[in-house]
Amino acid sequence: MVVTTVAKVKVAYVCGDCGSDFPKWQGRCDDCGAWNTLSEFRTGNVGAKKSGSQFKGYAGSLSEVQTLGDIDLTNVPRLSSGVEEFDRVLGGGMVPGSAILIGGHPGAGKSTLLLQVLCRMAKSQSALYVTGEESLQQVAMRAQRLSLPMDSLQMLSETSVEAICAVAENQHPKLIVIDSIQVVRQEDVQSAPGSVAQVRECAAYLIRYAKLTNTILILVGHVTKDGSLAGPKVLEHMIDCSVMLESSTDNRYRTLRGVKNRFGAVNEIGVFAMTEKGLREVKNPSAIFLSRATEPAAGSVVMVVWEGTRPILIELQALVDDSQFGNPRRLAVGVDQNRLSMLLAVLHRHGGIQVGDQDVFVNVVGGVKVMETSADLTQLLAIVSSLRDRPLASDLVVFGEVGLSGEIRPVPSGQERLNSAVKHGFKRAIVPQANVPKNGIKGMEIVGVSTLAAALAAVE
């Protein structure tokens, strides 16, 4: 069969912020609205046209088709990093052949965390740490200062992905860290390191290597000012796990948060403290988020949020104050701002409490972000407590979702949340009626509520 191929190099313009591509250059990205972020991107030969059936002429070797049951599952052990919090966020360890992206602001502690993890792991597994940002001396000095075992970890200072993979082929490491994806480059790609084209191609190149050789690949990625990874969309679909290292407001604690995980739950968090000896695991995060003043304060309520596979107790604060200007402010830190506006409307309509002329501020202590709706009821009770300047009992926990008709809806894992609250010494709880355990919980007085009015009556 005669196959005619027309080799064409395709030129596209790719937005550096969101990764969308356009056939022509334009000043503003239509997708994310960013200005002057489009840059030229050349892809390889595309559009090879074939005569006759497109598919029958395939000349390569054909892959075998299997049913799910036939697939060999015996050799997928997870590799433990030796750091429990890190393993938990990754769903219980690292899967061979997987690509993991660790994102965070510069100075969040990504290099420190990985250096600590790798130095320990290198004793039992061969591991390669590729540093493109810091010199080998800088990394070695840090390892020495942190008293890490230094004799087994293999180090490489290199920014070319071809060279990195060639070295890796010789060394056969089980695990490779690339610090960071923004400084590596591939020879064929014209644009500068850190650009979308480079990041995309380099990541694809490295991931291909990792999949072929069953190596664990950890990529470090910096986030941009607004908190998104440079070229986030282009990496998101390629990698298996994406985790973020975020620092809290007081800069002492770092939370490692799962964003995407093909092998486990997301929204799992691991908590670390940054000390002069590097990052230290915090085994009981509730203790730091609950460092409350001894005197009960108005507007402060403790909730139990479900993070991935475990409950965490977190304090939420609200401040309600007379508004100085015509337009009262609603400010939410750590919870969704739009949801706060909605809850205030529910409070007015179904609770009969008016805050239209008040500024309302809500803050989650410790710089944690709560994405769950279980914080709804907590927010409303904190707001009411601040408005009335009446503190709630300091041994009270509150959680529950609030619906638009003023009903209190149940949240998942109610019993586990309550158990964890009891363990931390809480003696009272206001929770959705449907979350009240049938047999109660020893040592805890649980008030089940099904409407907002009932919840407000419970704190009268």
Residue of 16, 90, 94, 110 that binds ligand TYD (CB under 6 A): 110
Least CB distance to Mg ion at residue 94 (A): 20
Residue of 16, 91, 103, 104 that binds ligand TYD (CB under 6 A): 104
Which span sits near ligand TYD by CB under 6 A: 232-240, 271-279, 286-294, 315-323?
A: 271-279
Least CB distance to ligand TYD at residue 220 (A): 7
Any contact of residue 257 with ligand TYD (CB under 6 A)? no
**Residue count, binding to Mg ion (CB under 5 A):** 1
Q: Encoding tokens for residue 353?
A: 């409490």
> Tokens 């609205």 correspond to what residue?
33
Task: Please state, in angstroms and rounded to a whole number, the distance separating the CA atoms of residues 368 and 268.
Answer: 12
Residue 112: name its binding partner from ligand TYD, Mg ion, none (Cβ under 5 to 8 Å by kind).
Answer: ligand TYD
Nearer to Mg ion, 111 or 248 (CB): 111
Nearer to ligand TYD, 280 or 428 (CB): 280
Q: What residues form DSSP beta bridges with 274?
A: 279
Nearer to ligand TYD, 95 or 219 (CB): 219
Which span sits near ligand TYD by CB under 6 A: 106-114, 257-265, 290-298, 326-334?
A: 106-114
Task: Please state, in angstroms and rounded to a whole number, the distance separating the CA atoms of residues 322 and 356.
Answer: 10
Least CB distance to ligand TYD at residue 278 (A): 4
Task: Please state, in angstroms and rounded to a whole number, the distance separating the CA atoms of residues 90 and 245.
Answer: 13
Least CB distance to ligand TYD at residue 146 (A): 6
Closest alpha carbon to 429 in 456, 393, 460: 393
Q: Encoding tokens for residue 13?
A: 């313009």
Length of the chain in residues, anyone? Answer: 460
**Residue count, binding to ligand TYD (CB under 6 A):** 14
Q: Encoding tokens for residue 459?
A: 């704190």
Nearer to Mg ion, 111 or 191 (CB): 111
Instruction: Report the SS3 class of residue 5.
Output: coil
Residue 258: name its binding partner from Mg ion, ligand TYD, none (Cβ under 5 to 8 Å by kind).
Answer: none
* 96 close to 104: Cβ distance less than 8 angstroms: no
Residue of 20, 37, 81, 111 that binds Mg ion (CB under 5 A): 111
Q: Encoding tokens for residue 82?
A: 């030796």
Instruction: Report the SS3 class of residue 172.
Output: coil
Task: Please state, in angstroms and rounded to a whole number, the distance separating the CA atoms of residues 193 and 196.
Answer: 9
Provide the greatest CA pair distance for the chain: 86
Task: Please state, in angstroms and rounded to a whole number, the distance separating the CA atoms of residues 198 and 16.
Answer: 11
Least CB distance to ligand TYD at residue 191 (A): 23
What Å distances lie between residue 273 and 97, 161, 386, 456, CA to CA?
A: 30, 33, 31, 38
Residue of 18, 38, 100, 108 that binds ligand TYD (CB under 6 A): 108
Which span sits near Mg ion by CB under 5 A: 8-16, 105-113, 185-193, 363-371?
A: 105-113
Least CB distance to ligand TYD at residue 258 (A): 17
Any contact of residue 107 with ligand TYD (CB under 6 A)? yes
Any contact of residue 250 with ligand TYD (CB under 6 A)? no
Nearer to ligand TYD, 120 or 417 (CB): 120
Q: Give the contacts of 387 (CB within 8 A, at least 6 positions apart).
A: 320, 353, 355, 358
What Å distances lie between residue 107 and 101, 111, 177, 245, CA to CA?
A: 16, 9, 17, 10
Which residue's CB comes closest to Mg ion? 111
Nearer to Mg ion, 88 or 222 (CB): 222
Residue 37: name its binding partner from ligand TYD, Mg ion, none (Cβ under 5 to 8 Å by kind).
Answer: none
Task: Please state, in angstroms and rounded to a whole number, the distance separating the CA atoms of residues 420 and 387.
Answer: 29
Which span sits near Mg ion by CB under 5 A: 109-117, 203-211, 262-270, 360-368?
A: 109-117
* 431 close to 376: Cβ distance less than 8 angstroms: no
List of residues contacting ligand TYD (CB under 6 A): 104, 106-112, 142, 146, 274, 276-278
List of residues contacting Mg ion (CB under 5 A): 111
